[in-house]
Structure formats: structure tokens, C-alpha cells
Amino acid sequence: MTYGLIILCCVIFLIGPAAGLNPAYGTGDELLVAQRAYFRRWGVVPVELFTGSPRAALTPLTALFVHGSWLHLLGNMLFLFVFGAMAEERMGHVEFALFYVGCGYVALGAYAATHAGSPQSLVGASGAISAVLGAFLFLFPRARVTSLFPFLFFLPLRFPAWVTLPFWVSLQWLAAGRETSGPGVAYLAHLVGFGVGFGYAWGRHGRRARVKGPVPAPEGEKQS
């Protein structure tokens, strides 16, 4: 399911206007107009979300599979590739798919609710992928993750997930405090997704662990 989500997001991006590869959307100003219309149609527009329109109510789902740029797509898919497979293996395919979509929907909806007057489109799988990170932290806290820390000159260093992922969350928290009303990154959606994902894993799989006994930590490492 993880690899299927990655393929689906990549295909949708490549055939859409954001990739700049589909000649049907034109070039130059024509392409920019097509991109804005595309994001508004398939992304979450907070000011429209709570109007009662069935189409608007579905946009937190469609927005999960739309990305605004190559960097946006590649960054999200890298995180999903690194952390998704192990979380899916623990949860199972169907549960993981429902978890991914449900948490992503909640994360995007929460952001829209706190920016209810905003007319800007919100797209991307970051909220759902942040939920995967939250679940991963609970399920595999001791799994070692290779990370690049800027204040350590971007040296690839290995740390357990309980160090790396809280550090990532702290960066999102700090960035959310400086978030502006203009175009940019919806850090609040990341925080909500992470919290919902961690809470879900704790509530569902923590109960299973208490019933069945402790689950050993996986061997090996993951990279991000």
C-alpha cells in the first residue's frame, strides 16, 4: 500500500500542471493560470470547505494526492518511503490505508478550520505522512534513523526514532509560530497529523501490546 500511494501521487503529479510536462496545460502565463485553477479545484480552500458543498467536503481527500512542485512531491514521497512500509507492516494493508487517508483528512481539515477565512488552496500529503511519522515513533521508538542535521554540518548520523522524530516535531512547532498568511508550508497540518498518528497508534496498538506483551524493536535502520 505504501508503494501504491507513492506511485499514485507521482502519476497524478506528472499528468497535472504542476510538473510542467503536460502540453495540454500550455506554457508561461497560461500554465500558471492552469495551475491555480487545478489547485483550487482539487485542493482545500478553507473559506469554501465549511459551506456545505459536497465537492468542497471531498477536497481534504483529493488534496492528499496533489502536490505543488517537484520539491514538494519528492520530499513527501521520501518520508513516506522511509517510514511507511514498517508502519504498514505492523498495522496491515487495509488499516494502514484507512489510517493514512483518515489522518490526512483530519490534518487538512484542522488547518482549514483555523484559517477559515483564507482563500488560498492547500494541497499535499504532508498531514497524512506526518501521521505516519507519529505512528512510527510509537511503534518503533528504538529503530535507528539516519538523519542530516544542519547544525552538525549535514553529517549523516544515526539516532533512534525517539530522538530524531521529536526533533523534527520541534522544528515544525517553531516554524508554525512564524507561519504567515501568504503562500508557504502548512506546518500546523504537520503537527496535527503527527499528534493524531501518534495518538492512534498509542490507543490501538498500545492496547494490543499490553494484551500480547512487549513487541521487540526491529533491527536495521531507516534513512530520511
The upper half-sphere exposure of residue 210, i.e. CA atoms within 13 Å in the direction of its Cβ, equals 7
pLDDT higher than threshold 70 for residue 83 = yes
Question: What's the CATH number where 121 sits?
Answer: 1.20.1540.10
pLDDT digits (tens, 9 = 90+) for 27-68: 899 999 999 999 999 999 999 988 878 889 999 999 999 999
Max distance between CA atoms of the chain, in angstroms, equals 60
Q: What is the pLDDT of residue 132?
A: 96
Q: What is the pLDDT of residue 179?
A: 64
Average pLDDT score over residue span 144-165: 60
Kindly indicate the confidence band of residue 172, based on its pLDDT and cuts at 50, 70 and 90: confident
Sort strands 144-148 and 221-223 into parallel, antiparallel or unpaired: parallel
Inter-residue contact 143 to 224 (CB < 8 Å): no
Length of the chain in terms of residues written? 224
- Cell output for 148: 542530516
Kindly indicate the confidence band of residue 213, based on its pLDDT and cuts at 50, 70 and 90: very low
Q: What is the DSSP string of 70-123?
A: HHHHHHHHHHHHHHHHHHHHHH-HHHHHHHHHHHHHHHHHHHHHHTTT----B-
Quote the pTM value. Answer: 0.83
* 144 backbone dihedrals φ, ψ, rounded to 5°: -85, 135
pLDDT higher than threshold 50 for residue 177 = yes
How far CA 112 is from CA of 105, 121, 157, 188, in Å, comes to 11, 10, 36, 10
Q: What is the pLDDT of residue 219?
A: 44
Average pLDDT score over residue span 162-174: 81
Interatomic CA distance for residues 171 and 191, integer angstroms: 10
* Domain of residue 83, residue span: 2-223
Kindly indicate the confidence band of residue 224, based on its pLDDT and cuts at 50, 70 and 90: very low
Order the strands of the 156-160 sheet from edge to edge.
156-160, 144-148, 221-223
Q: What is the pLDDT of residue 158?
A: 59
CA 88, distance to chain mean position in Å, is: 15
Lowest mean pLDDT among 56-65, 129-138, 163-172: 163-172
pLDDT higher than threshold 50 for residue 101 = yes
pLDDT higher than threshold 80 for residue 152 = no
Residue 163 CB neighbour total at 10 angstroms = 14
Average pLDDT, the chain: 84
Number of domains in the chain: 1
User: For residue 196, what is the DSSP state?
Assistant: H
Please report, rounded to a whole number, the percentage of residues in the chain having pLDDT higher than 70. 83
- Cell output for 149: 542535521
pLDDT digits (tens, 9 = 90+) for 72-82: 999 999 999 98
